[in-house]
A and B are shown apart, each in its own frame.
Chain A
Amino acid sequence: MNTTMISRWLLWGEWRAHWLQFLVALTAIGIGVAMAFSIHLINTAAFNEFSAASKSLSGQSDLQVQSRSGFFDEMLYPRLAGYPEVQLANPVLELDVTVSGKQQNRNDHRLKIIGIDMFRAMAIVPDLLGLPEEGKSLDRVASDTIFLSPAAMEWLQVQQHDHLELHAGLETITLRVAGGLVRARAGQRLAVMDIGAMQWRFQQLGVLSRIELKLDNGVNHAAFKVKLADELGDAFVVTEQTDQEKRIANMSRAYRVNLNMLALVALFTGTFLVFSTQALSVVRRRQQFALLRVLGYTRQQLLRQVVTEGLTLGVFGSVLGLALGYGVAVSAIQLLGGDLGTNFFPGVKPGIYLDPLMALLFFAVGVTVTLLGNVAPALEASRAKPALALRSGSEDMAMAKLSAPWYALVCLAIALLFTQLPPIFELPIFGYLAISLLLIGGIALMPYLTARVFVRLLRFQSDQPGAVGMLAAARLAHAPNQSAIALGGILASFSLMVAMAIMVASFRISIDQWLGQVLPADLYVRTAVSGDQGGFQADAQQQIKTLSSFQRVDLFRTLHLTLDPNRPDITLFARPVDRADPRNTLPMTDDMLMPGTIPEDVMPVWISEAMVDLYGYKTGDRIRLPVGTAPNEFLVAGVWRDYGRQFGAIQMLLTDYQALTGDISVNTVAAWLQSGVTADQAIAALRQLPFGSALEISNSSDMRALSLEIFDRSFAVTYLLEIIAVVIGLMGVAASFSAQILARIKEFGMLRHIGVLRRQVLMLLAMEGGLLTVLGIVLGFLLGWAISLILVFIVNPQSFHWTMAIHMPWPWLVSVAAVLLVSAALTAVLSGRRAVSAQVIRAVREDW
């Protein structure tokens, strides 16, 4: 008989006898790879599609010129076109217009309208040229026409020739859908108008959003960019295509990286499960291997045997995982969209592209982690002295090598150290490393802790009668390694779940409280378009103020500023703020100037936490912002908490803003109801105004509900991952118990032989399972709590630039713990039934 045959025969024999464990290990590695691979696929697809869609808007331009404050005078266009280096200048006016009746989704109710001069755009962004009806060419330069992408037509439910009503400020304008944008990307929601028509109809006369430049051949882009930026001054930013890409990548990076980390956690849990299955299987077969050694098998052959097992498992599991991951990615994108319902990539409908190289990489990762889980048991199996290993009861000793408390303590110590380190590339890399080290250390510490805890328990129990309880405790106390492996699965999944649950609950409660602070008024009234002008001019503001329904009315002017061309825009709010004590207006953090200490002659601004992280502003700093005709100096008077805008936001006094810019229009009116007036009555009164139909009126309680709904949807994926982690953990319990119980058949036979009832053996198993799970839950809770601290105080501030307070979701945690406890005990009993079924005598006789 040659070794290959023996090897194959051993493999088959093992798997046939323990097909359930094999299946569980296969599934675990499969799910791990599938999660990681599908999240990678979805992220890549969504990101690529989003950046392709964004790129299709800027087309073939070499440089883009934008104003830091959003809009600028159109006379820059002839000036730029006059540069000898410039071959073509393409003026663009871009507005995100609110579509009435689409406000139920707060992040997703806007239609992007791009105003172009088709004769200039043709050479730079040909995809933006609308396709009019045959013979109606001039529709492309007409003042009453709009061209819509297929996705926009579907969204607005209009066709070519239909009329579309949009709001510009307080006016309603009707446009004719003259045709389609056939080259828009799938799902890209986009409209194009003639630039002159758009300036006129949307009341943006004389302004542009950006100018795209195509440079003459031979002009050094970088040098010209510097020259131009220099000549245009501080109020403008000049960007290249690569800057655009950076900006887009920056926008969604934190989200993508965090999702990838979750996927890696799933892979990690899968690896751990493979490790426990393999370890137990090797330990169980010590005698078998020893026999083979005695019969002439060399160490290398044995090692190869175990590694082959792991390799086979890894290959099948990874292939399964790739297939599963692809399927999950495709259906998730169809059901939830490329951003999994979070609106990080709005209006994008990506297709999954299977990159063979990446598939190969994930396959390799799957096989490698499986092998890693296999190496320690394999080494142990090959090193064991055959004579010793042939004897029964040496299994737990064999595991001793795997449990080294010092190594666990080192992991925990490094984890602690890592929590003190700053982010790398604005990502909480050390935070994630700390989490994995905590997990590894915690699991590695398990055997030691199990032994300590159950030895204690045994001593405590020995005073009282109860053979079964004593037996269970004795088993757990004196063979801690095997128990610990079973425990490891529960520990890993439960602690991750606890961590996620605490984090999500903390986040949700913080957001809820925050919403109460930032939405103090009863009604919020907006106009339908955002552009250079806030929709409410002085007379409209006056008309609302004089309504008898309201006791107080606050005016808000919001606009976007570009402080760093590589980053997404920040939001500027100009509004009344209590200068003496901003806590009366804003959700301030503790980081602020003492109330009443702001000098009279400076203009204060209050910055969101993201501004501190991203731009390095600190309380007490004097900063320059592009507000007004030239950049002006402001004093940072404090930091406030903002969950709404992770790219940064600044609040300033409306009076300062109006003095600097002369712009007296506002975007939003916050109104407090007069006592005795209901919201409906107030809304009716607003609708009675001459411009009433163009108003977008929201109730603050609706806005809160809507925000929380969006929050819950964003975390839907997290809940899914949690459930998967728990299922993997339970599978681990089932696998390790059934493995252990088979190994302990002799023990049970012996117990039956000395008069222990079958019922009692099952009870013993249930108690073992239960005790173990209780320990797992307690430790898992501690570990999870520690991880949640890292998530709340490190990962969140570092990736999204906001802080929050810890809140414990006790009911949820307790019920999950109870479910876990019951299912673990049940799993232990079910796995044990086979062991105590019959042939007690034979089981005893087998080895003695």
Chain B
Amino acid sequence: MLRKKWINPWAAVLLLILNVIGLDGLADSGRLKSVTPDYQLTFPLDYGAHEDFRIEWWYITGWLETEDRKSLGFQVTFFRYATDMNHDNPSRFAAKHLIIAHLALSDPAVGKLMHRERTVREGFGFAYSKQGDTDVKLDDWTLVRQTDGAYIVDMQDSDFGLQLTLTPAQSPLLQDQNGFSRKGPKPEQASYYYSEPHLKVSGTVFRDGKPVLVKGSAWLDHEWSTAYLDPDADGWDWVGANLDDGSALMAFQIRAKEGGKVWAYAALRDASGDMTLFDPDQVEFMPVRTWQSPHTEAVYPVEMRIRTGNIEWHLTPLMDDQELDSRQSTATVYWEGAVTLTKDRQPAGRGYLELTGYAKSLEM
């Protein structure tokens, strides 16, 4: 079975490590490029696809509010994956790139995550990721960046869907060293990575065919690489949050198989654009409360304290059951959920928390 752990950005990277690099060696064909620190990100070119790199994703999470002031969380992801195969095959069906997309909606009234995934090979115009600017398509699911900078998301499935316009209020946030984002102790363990926090959202959420008008705030990540995770990696915890004062926080840690962490990173950019970066030893994830999934029996630290330097953030989930259990179709299980942040017991902002590798024993 094609284990599409790459449904989740980090999971995709894990797949890469285990499946490709671990067995076939890195950059085996010589066709794919590696990530180097000297590259200067240029826009709008880098909004578009980078087909010379193995994996790439556009990942959007956010909080929405309906007209009757009910909160919803959403996640939308498009991946492009280079199979690094079939270069000589002249067939229109030759699987050179795969497009994978993921749609999830968190509604406390439903109590569990609604989600859909699709995978299609590029070809026949059914699926593509274009160069030059963000323009990704998978059948009738699309993510397009307009010339004014706003993103249009249109993703509908049989029983739910989204049509959203996301308008940037701040400039792109280049992570780590000007967009060169290290993921491990070795220099080649890295990706190109920028975020667009504080996207203003307006649009429609469809539930059983009924449209509901929504407004909200979202976070976009665009990241591409060929290979970067340490073989020792076990899973990761990641958070991206739009803070109420206009600042943006991103933090992650990569957990080691034997406990402890392989790498960690955090960045805090205030409303005026000043960036504070935190070294691996300044970032700490501390579980507060765990939740055991009734679907998979995996135990997730759904409530966390995160320390970045001197600041401590407290993360509370919108609802506990935001587990994404897609073993039927893709054999992937992880937790991806809307969370609220407090600092010193005061509301500080809202974001998304991602917890992977907790249900690993179930996957085999």
Contact = CB atoms under 8 A, between A and B. Distances in A.
B360 to A, nearest CB: 14
B95 A141 contact: yes
16 contacts: A78-B126, A81-B124, A119-B98, A136-B19, A136-B23, A137-B2, A137-B3, A138-B20, A138-B83, A138-B85, A140-B2, A197-B89, A199-B91, A200-B91, A205-B91, A206-B92
B84 to A, nearest CB: 8
B111 to A, nearest CB: 25
A74 interface: yes
Given A119-B120, A135-B22, A138-B19, A200 B126 contact: no
Given A135-B19, A137-B19, A194 B93 contact: yes
Interface in B94-131: 94-95, 98, 119-121, 124-126
B28 to A, nearest CB: 12
Interface string B60-84: 0000000000000000000000010
A294 to B, nearest CB: 82
A117 B89 CA distance: 15
B276 interface: no
Interface in A117-147: 117-120, 122, 129, 131-132, 135-138, 140-143
Contacts of A140: 2
B85 A143 contact: yes
Interface magnitude class on chain B: 20 to 34
A289 interface: no
B87 to A, nearest CB: 9
B86 interface: yes
B332 to A, nearest CB: 12
Given A118-B2, A137-B1, A138-B2, A74 B85 contact: no
B362 interface: no
A94 to B, nearest CB: 14
A141 B89 contact: no
Nearest to A194: B95
A141 B19 contact: no
Interface residues of A, number: 30
A78 B124 contact: yes
B288 interface: no
Contacts of B121: 117, 119, 141, 196
A190 interface: no
B18 interface: yes
Given A138-B83, A194-B95, A200-B94, A143 B19 contact: no
A68 to B, nearest CB: 23
B30 interface: no
A103 to B, nearest CB: 29
Contacts of A138: 2, 19-20, 83, 85
A625 to B, nearest CB: 30
Nearest to A141: B95
A143 B288 CA distance: 49
A197 B86 contact: yes
A77 interface: yes
Contacts of B20: 138
Contacts of A131: 1
B85 A142 contact: yes
Nearest to B15: A137
Given A77-B124, A81-B126, A137-B19, A143 B94 contact: yes
A143 B2 contact: no
A133 to B, nearest CB: 9
A137 to B, nearest CB: 4
A199 B158 CA distance: 33
Nearest to B19: A135
Contacts of A194: 93, 95
B82 to A, nearest CB: 11
A135 to B, nearest CB: 5
A78 B19 CA distance: 32
A782 to B, nearest CB: 66
Given A138-B85, A141-B85, A200 B22 contact: no
A523 interface: no
Contacts of A132: 1-2
B300 to A, nearest CB: 25
A13 B61 CA distance: 93
Q: Which 9 A-B pairs have the closest CB atoms?
A: A196-B93, A141-B95, A137-B2, A196-B91, A196-B94, A199-B91, A135-B19, A200-B89, A78-B124
